[in-house]
Chains A and B, each alone.
Chain A
């Protein structure tokens, strides 16, 4: 009876999109464990906006050094002298995985649909500069911008959806959002939400069929469970926190990959709070925090001190804006500004205690550790920081006046992080400019930086931004965090890109799993 029921039910509800049979040998299949699951697989709703989407390609793509290279475009775009027109010539002979040829119509459809307010795409603002897109013949696409926007080419790593499939259904809820069809190196064979995504190689991929024929991404939210499953052999690779990755350091069959990132942790110092809005307090805190100790103790060395969203060592980093740990200097700044120690050791000025609350996301151990270390460093300078845990529902209404331990970071152009974080007109706009930072010089430099394509002018603009941020640090940047991955040493060609804050499906050594080669 039980087998009867089983057979019936199995027949009745097969996994949608699952193919019939066929599993590869161990060398040409890989299973990796990741922590974040994409909300959707439709490029129109935000999937694959930063590339590496496996199923899709963009017009351009980032290589291992985060340099742009042509993908569905046959070469890098031609940019008009005024920086307002980008012309892409498309690659010939590319087909979607259902056999239909890729043309300029698909590009136009993808970008127009994303810009349509009826499309539920939460990242639409990233294409804010785009005024219109049109096809010229089958193999040329012309983008026209509202204003010159230097990093626009980096936005065109956006995955391209097939018009002939996606246009025929509801963009927000159609089957395409869970059963995508693209031009990419892999074809989705199944998505069991909350459990795993499975892919098989696209044999007709325009850049050559991948050697890893079957690829599975298991969604395992818990770090310990991921480590256990990696040890048990259920997974071939996984993203792990430093303490768990250390457990595999002496395993000869596994290799650990360390990805440098733009993933920062920072404390917002709200302009609208009388203590955190005070430039002297901000500068004192900036000197009082011991960033190197945070890196050594909290991150176990897997990271580096941060002085702004741009990581040190990055070509855009303004040399000389590093701040060393200087407690005496911090105390001197506060003394000179009139913040005198009160009876309980906490400084006072004009009847106001140098005290403020600091919120962190409850359950986030990393942010909690950063917040506690920050409060303890601030205490030494005579500033009383009370740490409090809460969910975003609790924190969001308080962001205008209360400090928050925030995280973020998008690789690529210096505009991506600095503009939304520091531009005064974006103060309190969603989660942008959470500190309500307001600095005219910075505002002007941010506009100058994005509106010119001249490298020297851009460099000068972003140098100005970083130097101004050092003079009036409305955020105390603490660390940039490395991401660690442990992978079975069975393939060649593994490396990592510089990674963003959200490191799910598109990050890790499997950012280019299509280029992995089995070791012989």
Chain B
């Protein structure tokens, strides 16, 4: 297990290197001008000399490779640089926002896993039943619905029509203190929407897995021995039926991140995903690179986690595969 973790960590290094370089290359090739983004509206009346000076101060006039190398060597010593769009150190920006994103993503993930598993087991037990047919068709529809569309729909219904839940932000507009109660109220809609977009995958996998497992020999054997249905389901069918889901936990992480990107933007949630969008359009190299590394690391960790879980749940798989 430790060997596998170590080997994966080694393999991750070149991946991260390539990803950071790609971020710099893509951003440099984009038509957006970091100086214009930095100067904002003042840039429209600034003199060319002023703009050129800004370009030199920001280092935006230097070659791509040099900028990447400088960023990389500084980042390795723990200095992530300064965000030009947020006007503060990148570490501060991430430190302040990461928690909110983790809170949102974790809540959504828990909702998706808990609800998906529960519904999946119930539907898998009686495939073709009323519950199965209703939830399955809803799941296929949800799978096709884009996250931002669901978000706008939720805002329209819960915030505008019913006025029951706030439409966005972390706290009420008039309030400048962050209380747990306010955050909880503001978390409901974005977490539900993000959770709902992930739910179909878990539901469909569990439904299939449990349904198949119920037809397998061990289950038939258990039933023949006269074990209670509950024991058959939890002890035998679930154990093998849930295996594909463990893989899914890891492979859904990238989807969760892109989903968060949209959901945070729609709900003005002050997390890192919303900052990624801002950083990308402002060609804010240091912030963009740090956030991309973070996202890549999350994906790699997700894969590692699902492989480890798989190994633990099914000894046949082992840790060397």
Q: Which residues of A contact B (CB under 8 A)?
A: 2-3, 5-7, 9-10, 12-16, 18-21, 23, 29, 31, 36, 39-40, 42, 45-46, 117-118, 120, 122-125, 128, 170, 172-173, 175, 177-178, 189-190, 192-196, 198, 214, 216, 218, 228-229, 232, 234-235, 391-394, 408, 410, 420, 426, 428-432, 502
Contact = CB atoms under 8 A, between A and B. Distances in A.
B268 A195 contact: yes
A20 B49 CA distance: 45
Nearest to B81: A173
Given A13-B100, A36-B41, A122-B40, A192 B170 contact: yes
Contacts of A190: 176
Given A189-B176, A392-B36, A431-B44, A16 B58 contact: no
B103 A125 contact: no
Nearest to B175: A23
B290 to A, nearest CB: 15
Contacts of B170: 15, 192, 195
Nearest to A16: B96
A420 B45 contact: yes
B95 to A, nearest CB: 8
Contacts of A2: 107, 110
B45 A408 contact: yes
Q: Which of B88, B174, B176, B177 has the most CB of A within 10 A?
A: B176
19 contacts: A3-B180, A5-B106, A9-B103, A13-B95, A29-B174, A122-B50, A123-B42, A125-B49, A178-B87, A178-B88, A189-B176, A192-B169, A192-B270, A196-B169, A228-B160, A229-B173, A235-B173, A408-B45, A429-B48
Contacts of B98: 13
B89 interface: yes
Given A45-B87, A214-B174, A426-B47, A232 B270 contact: no
B267 to A, nearest CB: 10
Given A192-B270, A502-B41, A430 B174 contact: no
B180 A23 contact: no
A194 B49 CA distance: 30
A194 B268 contact: yes
Interface string B22-49: 0000000001110010111111111111
Nearest to B37: A39
Given A7-B180, A16-B96, A431 B45 contact: yes
Interface string B41-81: 11111111111011001100000000000000000000000
A420 B110 CA distance: 58
A430 B36 CA distance: 10
Given A193-B270, A195-B268, A234-B173, A10 B180 contact: yes
B235 interface: no
Nearest to A29: B174
Contact of A6 (B31, B83, B103): B103
Interface string B97-116: 11110110011001000000
A194 B180 contact: no
Contacts of A16: 96
Contact of A194 (B38, B47, B270): B270
B183 interface: yes
Contacts, number: 161
Nearest to A190: B176
B220 to A, nearest CB: 36
B163 A232 contact: yes
Contacts of B145: none
Q: Give the secondary structure class of B's interface.
A: helix
Given A39-B87, A193-B86, A122 B183 contact: no
A178 B36 CA distance: 20
Nearest to A219: B268
Contact of B42 (A122, A170, A175, A394): A122
B174 A40 contact: no
Contacts of B169: 192, 195-196
B45 A123 contact: yes
A214 to B, nearest CB: 7
Nearest to A175: B88
B87 A173 contact: yes
A218 B170 CA distance: 13
B192 interface: no
A125 B106 contact: no
Interface string B245-278: 0000000000000000000000010100010001
B96 A13 contact: yes
A12 B38 contact: no
Contacts of A124: 46, 50
Contact of A216 (B86, B163, B173): B173
A386 to B, nearest CB: 22
Contact of B87 (A20, A172, A214, A392): A172
Interface string B168-194: 011001111111100110010000000
A432 B45 CA distance: 6
Contact of A10 (B43, B102, B178): B178
A120 B40 CA distance: 12
Contacts of A23: 174-175
A430 B46 contact: yes
A414 B54 CA distance: 28
Nearest to A14: B178
B143 interface: no
